[in-house]
Amino acid sequence: MSPLSQIKLSMLDLAPIVEGGDAAQALSHSVQLAQHVEKLGFTRFWVAEHHNMPGVASSATAVLIGHIAAHTRNIRVGSGGIMLPNHAPLVVAEQFGTLATLFPGRIDLGLGRAPGTDPLTARALRRDRMNGDDFPQQVGELRGYLAPEQPGQAVRAIPGGGTEVPVWLLGSSLFSAQLAAQLGLPFAFAAHFAPTHLDEALQLYRHRFQPSAVLERPYAIACIPLIAADSDERAQQLATTPMQKFLALIRGQRLPLKPPVESMAGLWTPREEFTVRNEWLGEAIIGGPQQVRAALERFVERTGVDEIMLSTDCHSISDRLRSCEIAAELAHGKRLDRQAEATPAR
């Protein structure tokens, strides 16, 4: 039996604004993608908080989660994640308590401690709070607001109290892995942009995990870039879109998502190519069906993750949809009648 047959698939979306497009199109495409992967049997669909980035439309993350949940039926929808130091825990509890009240049993709350932006924008967001040193305390405060109300509790989240929205800790280093283990919470690692410490973080999380009231044993997600197409050659061409994205970030540029090019030759230096391929896309799976299947099987066997979350930075929404189709076909034999696809919501 293939190790993929038991693995859960999920989706991370940044509502990418593509070159030649706009935010309205990006948000419409996010809904279309969520509807598509729901039909493919994906477990959850998360959107991520970023700010002041011309290529990302998911800044008002809780608002977008509500919109996507309203246009889907069963798939879990959540944050991958809310950057908690940007917000008062009470406000986050009220937002996600409201979402959980509107969409019972379907909302996830993934939490990160990075700002999700540049230092100047972080200052505009956080004002007098310029770091995430108190992240563990913030997580505790937020979970308290989502827990059942205690006698004499002076400050309550309404809605929020008693909803017990599932909390996930997200990380791209070892800090959140250790905290998730200590608190007995599920953990998701951001290998879609920071693959270097994936194996070490998973090992640390599992080794130090302490069972809790919400989780008896470790549960880990790895988010990885996946570009799947009907041929290896087509996938490699599509992959030049995320390559251009990370190249721009290396150079301090924030741009809309660029269309693919025939070749990256001449667009980057050897050092930049090494950095993009290894430090940003080191866990990327790119190829046609056979190559993707083999790479996914190796990844599952190596990491032992409970769930794989896919990030697909394709310029064309049709290429993103097809990439997810191929992954679902390989993992679970799930196919779709394309003529039955839902119309994008606006």
Least confident range from 123-127, 200-204, 228-232, 245-249: namely 123-127
Asked if residue 345 has pLDDT above 60, the reply is no
pLDDT value, residue 133: 80
pLDDT value, residue 132: 64
Residue 258 lies inside a defined structural domain of this protein: yes
pLDDT value, residue 42: 97
Mean pLDDT of 93-106: 98
Residue 210, number of CB atoms within 10 A of its CB: 11
Residue 345 lies inside a defined structural domain of this protein: no
**3-state SS string for the chain:** CCHHHHCEEEEEECCECECCCCHHHHHHHHHHHHHHHHHCCCCEEEECCCCCCCCECCCCHHHHHHHHHHCCCCCEEEEEEEEHHHCCHHHHHHHHHHHHHHCCCCEEEEEECCCCCCHHHHHHHHCCCCCCCCHHHHHHHHHHHHCCCCCCCCCCCCCCCCCCCCEEEEECCCHHHHHHHHHCCCEEECCCCCHHHHHHHHHHHHHHCCCCCCCCCCCEEEEEEEEECCCHHHHHHHCHHHHHHHHHHHCCCCCCECCCCCCCCCCCCHHHHHHHHHHHCCCCEEECHHHHHHHHHHHHHHHCCCEEEEECCCCCHHHHHHHHHHHHHHHHCCCCCHHHCCCCCC
Give the span between the Cα atoms of 227 and 327, in whole angstroms: 9
Give the span between the Cα atoms of 267 and 227, in whole angstroms: 20
Residue 162 lies inside a defined structural domain of this protein: yes
pLDDT value, residue 3: 73
Q: Which residues pair with 79 in a beta bridge?
A: 47, 109
Domain of 299 in residue numbering reads as 3-340
pLDDT value, residue 337: 60
Q: Where are the alpha helices (DSSP H) in 258-344?
A: 270-274, 289-303, 317-332
pLDDT value, residue 343: 42
Q: Which of 345, 326, 311, 318 is nearest to 10 (CA)?
A: 311
Residue 218 lies inside a defined structural domain of this protein: yes
Residue 346 lies inside a defined structural domain of this protein: no
Give the span between the Cα atoms of 287 and 295, in whole angstroms: 9
Report helix, strand or coil for 24.
helix
Give the span between the Cα atoms of 137 and 145, in whole angstroms: 13
Residue 278 lies inside a defined structural domain of this protein: yes
pLDDT value, residue 339: 46
Q: What is the pLDDT of residues 294-307, one digit of tens each?
A: 999 999 999 999 99
Residue 44 lies inside a defined structural domain of this protein: yes
Mean pLDDT of 99-116: 92
Q: What is the pLDDT of residues 134-161, one digit of tens each?
A: 899 999 999 999 999 999 999 999 999 9
Asked if residue 338 has pLDDT above 70, the reply is no
Give the span between the Cα atoms of 228 and 287, in whole angstroms: 5
Asked if residue 346 has pLDDT above 60, the reply is no
Q: What is the pLDDT of residues 22-57, one digit of tens each?
A: 999 999 999 999 999 999 999 999 999 999 999 999
Report helix, strand or coil for 158.
coil
Asked if residue 14 has pLDDT above 80, the reply is yes
Asked if residue 210 has pLDDT above 80, the reply is yes
For residue 208, the one-letter residue type is R
| Residue-level length of the chain | 346
Structural domains of the chain, count: 1
Q: What is the pLDDT of residues 238-295, one digit of tens each?
A: 999 999 999 999 999 999 999 999 999 999 999 999 999 999 999 999 999 999 999 9
What whole-number percentage of the chain has pLDDT above 70? 92
Mean pLDDT of 80-94: 95
- What's this model's pTM, rounded to 2 decimal places? 0.93
Q: 230 with 288: CB under 8 angstroms?
A: yes
Q: What is the CATH number of the domain that holds 330?
A: 3.20.20.30
**Mean pLDDT across the chain:** 93
Give the span between the Cα atoms of 32 and 37, in whole angstroms: 9
| Residue 128: band (very low, low, confident or very high) from pLDDT cuts 50, 70, 90 | low
Q: 62 with 97: CB under 8 angstroms?
A: no
| Residue 336: band (very low, low, confident or very high) from pLDDT cuts 50, 70, 90 | low
pLDDT value, residue 115: 67
